[in-house]
Amino acid sequence: MRSYRLFCLWLALASGSALAAGSGQTGALLFGLFWVVLAAAVMGTLASKLGIPAVVGQVVAGILIGPSVLELVRPETFFLTLAEIGAIFLLFMVGLETRLGELLRVGREALLVAVLGIALPLALGFGFGLWQGQTNVSALFVGTALVATSVGITAKVLQELGVLGERFAQVILGAAVIDDILGLTLLAVVSGLGNGEELSAAQVGLTLGLSVGFVAAVLALGIPLVRRAQPRLQRLSLSRAFNVALVVGLGLAALSTVAGLAPIIGAFLAGMVLAEVKDEVAFESKVHAIEAFLAPVFFVVVGLQLDLGTLTQPTVVVAGLALTLLAVVGKLLGGLLGARTLGPREATLVGLGMVPRGEVGLIVASLGLGAGLIGETVYAEVLLMVLLTTIVAPLVLRAMWRRERLVQQAP
């Protein structure tokens, strides 16, 4: 009996490796993907039935099937990359819903929200780190982890609620782009400091200029270009139009990394550019299908990376809760002050929308841990902050929007 099971196992491995031509990983990855998709479907549906954003259910699904609990899937490069592609298609779709004109109309608010939403959490996190007795560099890393906003989480919640066209949602999206430009520049500076290489003001200016220039160039050149190409695009078959959308979306996502931006920013810009012709050229339904497949993978993979095994000491939990409080206060204040022209309720929604730290907070913390700039304890505290902001903010945002709408609908 035992030899039979061994033989089955051997065969499974042999045929699993079938397409990997010797790497032997593909079969296991396929099973992993099955678990990810199954968990996302089950927990997403359950969450929706409970009146909770599906995103939250999917992040929890990732925690459940990940290293913390069931250990069915590990956050390997394959899943991280597939998740990134999922986030790319998500922001591409969100971009398709976004018109540049409307975004520019709230440009001042978005800029203020982004700048305040970076300055306040950075200062709070840095102060907290110093107060804890961390080194300057370690405290700076904590501050930087508090800066990161995961726009993917919020964007999905806004998409689910069908409010991407609302003014507060436009502020969030605009702020997210600026947040990414400033945040990645900050990360470059802080990482440089950690390595003992101080970046000159000229270099920082260059980095900033490159990112800003990329965004401006894509929009300034892309939109007229797409408009001019419209007659030709309209004549394309559905499958060719879809190919064009894929090439533009993935191309700008890849290019944005060269400009020092996250790939999702490039995908968002690609969506905004193609939004100009989406009513005339049919490709949206196909892009939507890919988003429906891969965006849940992104949320589950965020959960996979949240290894709760590190949260064992009560002191870490207490410090993590304090850090979470600062993380929330920093972004909420940033939203309230930056978007005060929208009124206190919408400004609160903006602040809430900037709260989830998701994968971006994890990246900063992982970079710091990997480079030996922060310790295991600080990493665990940041992890708890990421977990709570990622899961709780969407819950509050959704509940608040629902109440808001009821108030509006009442006479």
Which residue's CB is nearer to a second copy, number 29 or number 175?
29
The minimum distance between CB 325 and a second copy, in angstroms, equals 25
DSSP secondary structure letters along 113-142? HHHHHHHHHHHHHHHHHHHTT--HHHHHHH
Which residue's CB is nearer to a second copy, number 250 or number 349?
250
The minimum distance between CB 309 and a second copy, in angstroms, equals 16
Which residue's CB is nearer to a second copy, number 84 or number 97?
84
Which residue's CB is nearer to a second copy, number 250 or number 339?
250
The minimum distance between CB 294 and a second copy, in angstroms, equals 9
Cα gap 257→356, rounded to integer Å: 22
Cα gap 354→114, rounded to integer Å: 9
The minimum distance between CB 273 and a second copy, in angstroms, equals 16
Which position has the token pair 């193609």? Answer: 274
What phi and psi values does residue 236 have, to the nearest 5 degrees?
A: -70, 150
DSSP secondary structure letters along 229-286? HHHHHHTS-HHHHHHHHHHHHHHHHHHHHHTTS-HHHHHHHHHHHHGGGTTTS--HHH
The minimum distance between CB 341 and a second copy, in angstroms, equals 32
Which residue's CB is nearer to a second copy, number 347 or number 385?
385
Cβ atoms of 55 and 157 within 8 Å: the answer is: yes
Q: Which residue type does 145 have?
A: A
Q: Which residue type does 376 have?
A: E
Which residue's CB is nearer to a second copy, number 211 or number 389?
211
DSSP label at 200?
Answer: P
Which residue's CB is nearer to a second copy, number 349 or number 362?
362
Which residue's CB is nearer to a second copy, number 168 or number 298?
298
Q: Which of 259, 112, 90 is nearest to 172 (CA)?
A: 112
The minimum distance between CB 327 and a second copy, in angstroms, equals 19
The minimum distance between CB 191 and a second copy, in angstroms, equals 7
Cα gap 139→82, rounded to integer Å: 32
**Cβ-based burial of 345 (10 A; exposed 0-12, middle 13-18, buried ≥19):** middle
The minimum distance between CB 297 and a second copy, in angstroms, equals 11
